[in-house]
């Protein structure tokens, strides 16, 4: 049965080489197949044209390639492309291509659903079904790179992990995917063009620093007052801002890499002077920049976009303190392209 076979992309190159030797073939055959699986993006063993038919049959007997399939693709008036990605077991995640004048950014998912409970996020309403495998994350990027070349005549330039799921709750698979995305044997992208966005899990942020990662870090902050943040993101009650601050200071000491804060301003929740002052204070702990994100309401509930006046109060206070701040306008509104909370995000 197909489900009993192992996905061949879960094997390292060394394991593939060993497999061929154990089956009476040459080790270099493993290099050939590895190249087909990753840099050439083979969807089936039949695609491997320089591998003999007998070898392809043997691979078919032992393995599967659990490739994703772009089920439906929607293009927005502003050029944003949303993919509904069907996985081998029938589950679906979203990935999004976000174009600007000079670049294209892929917003990718790391889990089916999400294990956290952010009250403002549509994905949080879907319970976490499972983690995505490294190859499933990689495939999303490959698909968006193809769309970028097709629609915008240039390769994908940036990747943000801001789709479905909390990347740091799928730590090993996310890091393995990034390893292949940045490898010369994969897509060869610079890690500096990749941003991983977390809701803020302090011990995992420290682990990132210890593992000496080269990609960028973003934190969905939304409030620098514990009680308010817990109202927005209930799970954060277990991770107080003092712990988050300590982990980010640790991150910066080890990596010397600035942190980006993702911050949505909501009417009646964090659109007051106390909230502004708290954010300015929090931003002084580590070198950072702030992305103020326009909110896409998911219903008529308590989370509604704040006024321009409130957003301007944030901009004025942050700039007065020498903190870099940008406003990210929502993209793909006409196709409801809510990739996590999708805005015009750049790594």
Question: Cα separation of 333 and 23, whole Å?
Answer: 53
Is 330 annotated in a binding site? The answer is: no
Question: Cα separation of 220 and 88, whole Å?
Answer: 30
Is 296 annotated in a binding site? The answer is: yes
Is 223 annotated in a binding site? The answer is: no
Contact 67, 139 (CB under 8 A): yes
Secondary structure class of 92 (helix, strand, coil): strand
Is 288 annotated in a binding site? The answer is: no
Is 121 annotated in a binding site? The answer is: yes
Contact 297, 304 (CB under 8 A): yes
Active site residue 339: yes
Cα-Cα-Cα-Cα torsion 31, 33, 38, 43, nearest 10 degrees, comes to 180
Is 114 annotated in a binding site? The answer is: yes
Is 118 annotated in a binding site? The answer is: yes
Q: Of these residues, 60, 94, 107, 283, which one is catalytic?
A: 94
Q: Of these residues, 107, 283, 288, 339, which one is catalytic?
A: 339
Is 197 annotated in a binding site? The answer is: yes
Q: List residues bridging with 305 in a β-sheet.
A: 266
**Would you give the end-to-end CA distance of the chain in angstroms?**
42
Contact 323, 289 (CB under 8 A): yes
Secondary structure class of 63 (helix, strand, coil): strand
Distances (CA, A) of 24 to 29, 58, 60, 215: 11, 12, 17, 41
Is 165 annotated in a binding site? The answer is: yes
Binding-site positions for [4Fe-4S] cluster read 114, 118, 121
Binding-site positions for S-adenosyl-L-methionine read 165-166, 197, 220-222, 296
Binding-site positions read 114, 118, 121, 165-166, 197, 220-222, 296
Give the active site residues.
Answer: 94, 339
């Amino acid at each position: 049965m197909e489900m009993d076979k192992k996905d061949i992309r879960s094997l390292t190159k060394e394991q593939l080489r060993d497999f061929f030797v154990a089956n009476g073939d040459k080790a270099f055959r493993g290099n050939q197949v590895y190249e087909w699986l990753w840099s050439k993006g083979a969807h089936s063993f039949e695609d491997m044209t320089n591998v003999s038919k007998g070898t392809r049959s043997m691979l078919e007997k032992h393995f599967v390639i659990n490739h994703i399939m772009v089920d439906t693709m929607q293009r927005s008036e502003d050029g944003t492309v949303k993919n509904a990605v069907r996985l081998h077991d029938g589950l679906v995640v979203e990935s999004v291509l976000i174009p600007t004048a000079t670049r294209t950014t892929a917003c990718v998912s790391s889990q089916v659903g999400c294990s956290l409970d952010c009250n403002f996020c549509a994905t949080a309403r879907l319970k976490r079904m499972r983690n995505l495998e490294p190859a499933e994350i990689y495939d999303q990027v490959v698909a968006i790179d193809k769309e970028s070349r097709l629609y915008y005549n240039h390769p994908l330039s940036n990747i943000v992990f801001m789709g479905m799921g909390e990347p740091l709750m799928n730590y090993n698979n996310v890091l393995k995917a990034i390893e292949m995305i940045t490898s010369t044997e994969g897509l060869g992208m610079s890690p500096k063009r990749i941003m991983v966005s977390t809701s803020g899990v302090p011990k995992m942020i420290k682990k990132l620093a210890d593992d000496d990662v080269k990609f960028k870090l973003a934190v969905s902050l939304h409030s620098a007052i514990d009680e308010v943040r817990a109202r927005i993101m209930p799970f954060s009650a277990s991770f107080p801002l003092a712990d988050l601050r300590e982990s980010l200071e640790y991150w910066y000491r080890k990596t010397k890499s600035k942190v980006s804060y993702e911050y949505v301003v909501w009417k009646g929740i964090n659109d007051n002077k106390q909230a502004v002052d708290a954010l300015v204070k929090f931003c002084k702990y580590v070198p950072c920049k702030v992305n103020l994100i326009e909110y896409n309401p998911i219903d008529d509930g308590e989370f509604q976009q704040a006024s321009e006046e409130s957003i301007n109060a944030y901009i004025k206070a942050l700039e007065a303190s020498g903190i870099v701040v940008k406003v990210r306008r929502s993209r793909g509104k006409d196709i409801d392209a809510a990739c996590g909370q999708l805005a015009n995000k750049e790594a």
